[in-house]
Structure 1
Amino acid sequence: MNEHSNQESQHHGEKPVARREMSRRQFLNYTLGGAGAFMGAGMLVPMIRFAVDPVLQPKAQAQWVKVVEESKVSNEPKSFKFKVHQVDGWYESEPELEAWISKGKDGKVFALNPTCKHLGCTVNWNGSPEYKDQYYCPCHGAHYTADGKNLAVAPLPLDEYEVKIEQGFVYLGQLGPNKRV
């Protein structure tokens, strides 16, 4: 009896281990749920990839676009329109853009984007009799120097296109911040 009481005292504070077995219903629920999740993921992954893939592609630099003959460019800014090939996600188009092209005091050709840095309206050279020899925005009165420097209202100068001259033609490239001012 001593042995029996010793075994009882050793197991006295412990609960017996209960083995839980999976029922058929639980097994079927887990199996069907896992298979359904696998098939759902198989359908969703290509759709998500299709939607997100254009965003993950590296942004390409703008192609050089032939705009005008160099002989037509003067010290007075002139507006020139040109088309670019644009890929926006899955959509391809050829929008018509505009640039004000002129020669600076140093004799080098430069091109400015006519989009006002205040609220995005289009600026014009000598657009107001009040501001002679300046770019003027009719929306809110912003005005800029011939080099695109902001004088009033707009927080930043006009953006500038990269310019290269080849075989007597002016080519425009990537649009970026104004380096002239």
Structure 2
Amino acid sequence: MTSDGSGPVKGDAGFHTPVGSRRTFFNWATAGIAGLIGAGLAVPLLGYIIAPALKRRERAWVDVGGVGDVPVGEPKQLDYAMTIQDGYLETRSQKAVWAVKQADGQVTVFAPKCTHLGCGYRWAGEEKQFKCPCHGSVFGIDGQVLAGPAPRPLDRLPVKIENGRLMVVFEEFKSGSSTSEAL
């Protein structure tokens, strides 16, 4: 205390000057808590909005027809329509595959494009060969290269049979490569 009793002396241990007011502290605390709540709500919201754009195409099993529709030892082209979900975009697409049924009932399904440059090929029944009209590649009924510039056999698709229906996972493959690489 000063000699006149008016207040503490500057060197006194009980004397301190407040840095801010109580109102300033509560304003900062309220803004900090509101910021944390806002960030907590914004992260899931942004994830919900952005996730479809970052998601890869889902490859689902597609019904391409009845197994009974495919004759034994004779390839058949099976046409079907499928819905493709790519991010926010949903499109309906016409696709085709070649199915070959063996005598034991097993079915092999080939992608519809030549492995050389991706042209569509056809089955030449009289010659028992798949032929590509673009550059002359020729494939056997098992998909193996018999002639032409094709660098690898025909690409096989995953296949399963459920309740007499042929189910396929459609994939597109890189053309011109000696190894089978899905796009």
Q: TM over 0.5, yes or no? A: yes
Aligned residues: 126
CA deviation after TM superposition for structure 1 residue 54, in Å: 5.5
How far apart, in 2, do the equivalents of 1:55 and 1:120 lie? 28
How far apart, in 1, do the equivalents of 2:101 and 2:108 lie? 6
User: Of residues 122, 133, 136 in structure 1, which corresponds to 2:131?
Assistant: 136
- Please tell me the residue identity of whatever aligns with 1:164: K
RMSD value, Cα: 2.8
User: Of residues 70, 74, 78 in structure 2, which corresponds to 1:80?
Assistant: 78
Pair 1:62-2:56 in alignment: no
- Cα deviations across residues 139-160 of structure 1 (Å, max 9, x unaligned)? 1101111111122211122111
- TM-score if structure 2 supplies the norm length? 0.59
Partner of 1:113: 111
- Cα deviations across residues 101-149 of structure 1 (Å, max 9, x unaligned)? 111365411111120111111000117x6xx111100011011111111
CA deviation after TM superposition for structure 1 residue 60, in Å: 4.6
How far apart, in 1, do the equivalents of 2:163 and 2:51 lie? 39
Judging by fraction of residues, say which structure has more helix. Answer: 1
* Aligned partners of 2:54 and 2:87 also within 8 Å: no
Q: Helix, strand or coil: the match of 2:134?
A: coil
Partner of 1:166: 162
- Please tell me the residue identity of whatever aligns with 1:166: E
Q: Structure 2 regions of 5+ residues with no counterpart?
A: 1-46, 174-179
Partner of 2:121: 123
Q: Which runs of 4+ in 1 moved over 6 A?
A: none
Q: Identity, % of aligned pairs?
A: 35
CA deviation after TM superposition for structure 1 residue 91, in Å: 2.1
* Aligned partners of 1:160 and 1:175 also within 8 Å: no
Q: Structure 1 regions of 5+ residues with no counterpart?
A: 1-48
